[in-house]
Structure 1
Amino acid sequence: MSAASCLLTEDQFLCSICLDVFTDPVSIPCGHNFCKDCITEYWSINVQCRCPNCNKRYNKRPELQINTFISEMAAQFRQSAQQKTSSSSSEQQDVEPEVHQMIQKRRLKIQEIKASVQLSNKDADREIAEGVQVFTALKESVERGQAELIKTIKEKQRTTEKQAEDFIKELEQEISDLNKRSSEVDIRPSSYEGAVVRAVAQLEEKLTEKMKNLFKVELKRIRQFAVNLTLDVNTAHPKLILSGSQVKHGDVKKNLPDNPERFDPHTCVLAKQSFSSGRFYYEVQVKGKTDWDVGVVRESINRKGKITANPQNGFWTICLRNGREYYAAASAAVCLSLRSHSIYSFTGCTFTEKLFPYFSPSLNYGGTNAAPLIITAVSHTE
């Protein structure tokens, strides 16, 4: 083993993040090695998991296991380095060039890391540019489609009005002729009304279909920012029942510590994950519920006593009340219609703190609102 270790160079035992000899070394799927604490901390401050060396992305954070072989080799190298340090002064004069060489290697590593950061920044700029380009194209397409739709509707409206005028004239002439002959004929304009209703229904159907297609394009774009969330039991109101990715209201108040981050008396819970930069997207199943609140909040929000959920207080949420009243909790509540797909955007927002996903299943109201809120898994390719 000692003969084999002599053939290895020092940089094979250095972590490229801390630039020191490996401590609890782990290997990731691309083949690069890091200290376990170093790569864990690196991933915790980045929304997407990447390899710091080759920049390879991972949709799911790899499971880390200690590489026992590299760990043993690193321990031997560290022991060898300590023995060299304790050598005589004459040997120390020989070590000085080696130390200088080690310093140079570390400087090269620093340059490599800086180059990797620059590459990451370029990738981010490119993604932003591509996103803006897609959004601009979508906006232009919507505007063109809107102009064409308005033109089509107006043309059909004029045609329908002309047909209606001609039909009315014919009916009035028939009525006049029948009156002259003193005939009792029941004439109803049901055919005309039916024609108008059918024309309007067809226009509404075409409009709805176009908006559905636009919604599908936008939904596919934003799903690439999907994240996996887990509920934070330390923030949950004592009457909430948490099970995996589900939360619902129970009738029994559990005896839990009244820690500062726990909501009380409002029946709310936050996700463990927080976000301070970039974009993120998640979906929640609300089937079978009559009341709920879903959105994001600032880390410093008030969690005790009376809470008014609006952007001024650090809440950006959409809500359902009484099974039919949808609204966005802006400065003044904005009613939402679900006759077609609805998307609401809070604009003019400035975020200086971490944002946490926010969920409130509301009360169960004797079982009428007992269904849970369910955080659903989202595929990036859907």
Structure 2
Amino acid sequence: MSAASCLLSEDQFLCSICLDVFMNPVSTPCGHNFCKTCITQHWDISPLCRCPICKRQYKTRPELHVNTFISEMAAQFKLSAQQEASRSSSSSQQQSAKPGEVPCDVCSGTKLKALKSCLVCLASYCETHLEPHQTVSGLKRHQLIDPVMNLERRICLMHNKPLEMFCKTNQSCVCVICSLSNHKTHDVVPLKEEYEVKMAELVKKEAELQAMIVKRLNKIQEIKDAVQLSKDEADRELEGGVQFFGDLMEAVERGLKEFMEEITEKQRRAEKQAEDLIKELKQEIFELTKRSSEVEKLSRSEDHLHVIQNFSSVKDDPPTKDWTNTRVRPPPYEGMVVRAVSQVEKMLNDQMKILFEGELKRVQGYRCYVTLDPDMVHPRPLQHNRNDCRCVLSKQSFSSGRFYFELDVDKWSTWTLGVTREHNVKGEIKLSPNNGYWTLCLCSTGYVVSTEPRVSLSLRSKPEKVGVYVHYDKGLICFYDVSTAALICSSDCSFTEKLYPFFSPCANDGLSIHSSSCVIQ
């Protein structure tokens, strides 16, 4: 290698994205260099504009200019490397054929490495014995290819002619005589033409595989970001919980321990889920990378027959999973401190009231503009006739994020309040999450939560106004007594469809009601 290239290592001229010598190198404000095309495409597909090396993030995409100094140095390095490779290639042409290399068929004694194979002569030649094919007019017309083994496989066994044509009808390689006889009525094209078609498909396939790899790498980053978000929320909850329980001294040490174990376990499960998904994604990336390498290797071949014969083995994608709807849902932490403090409620009434008021004020920040007016349900006192029972169902639905709404329930002796995924609420309604109902009921036997199995509650006082808070993405629903700023109950759920605020004043047993609908905005 030249003196200039000896002073500089190859790594100094490689783009960290394409791993090749710089092409139109540009420098980012943080001082790192990339090919202009590479960094532009990277930022086009990335949700964040940041340096791939130091991860520095930019609010706006920097304006990039070609670094002429690095560009000139890279060009000189590439030229020097090419000259060195040329000299190495020239010096090795007369070397003996190594195991796995194609030997010259003419050499006697020590077999030299073949440079070309002739499809007409069905022989491979070293540099010396190849000379007649380059100087003799008759031999100049012979078709030369890169040296290959088993040249007889490239000859038609029936006519002893080179396989120069491709029958699209039978998807097989044939000689010229075959194309004029047995395949006369078939769609037959020159081997080179089919080679170009297959090469185009290989290029497309390689691009598809690379896109799939990038998509999965982005999914890994998305999962990692979700885990980090979960961890940040967990840290915030832990900080508040530790501070609160620290003030309670020895009387609440057990409650503090249980609180920390529960939230840590939820975070551990979230991280375990993420680790499993990342492991599966990495395995798919490995398989896709392997297939991409096979496609790339085949796409670089100039051997028409070799490409066609091996095309079917790489044209199909390896088995992969559709990751479009895969998400890592951070576990819900809302209300955990509330549930822990309730265990020592008798000792902490004042502290709990302050805590509940803060909690309710926070979720009230997600109040939505949906009105459930009980007078729309029934303008007169509720009758015992089942046919008179009606439900209020909002036209507005929710399929992400958080929302909160309140309803005065003090005028009703029985009621059912919550959310439902069913827009049609006529007829017999089975109140359970399996049927798409997440509700709190006041029935003849008391307060009941429509979980599986249902849970009966014992409340200190009868709520006059009930607030409903839903965190759709984390699968959480909470019911609050707005007057006392107390949490009535909360449940971990799994929401997959649109949710509609729902209310019914009908008599019920906590399990089902029989109603006709009244849809309002």
State the TM-score, normalized to the length of structure 1. Answer: 0.37
Larger radius of gyration: 2
State the TM-score, normalized to the length of structure 2. Answer: 0.28
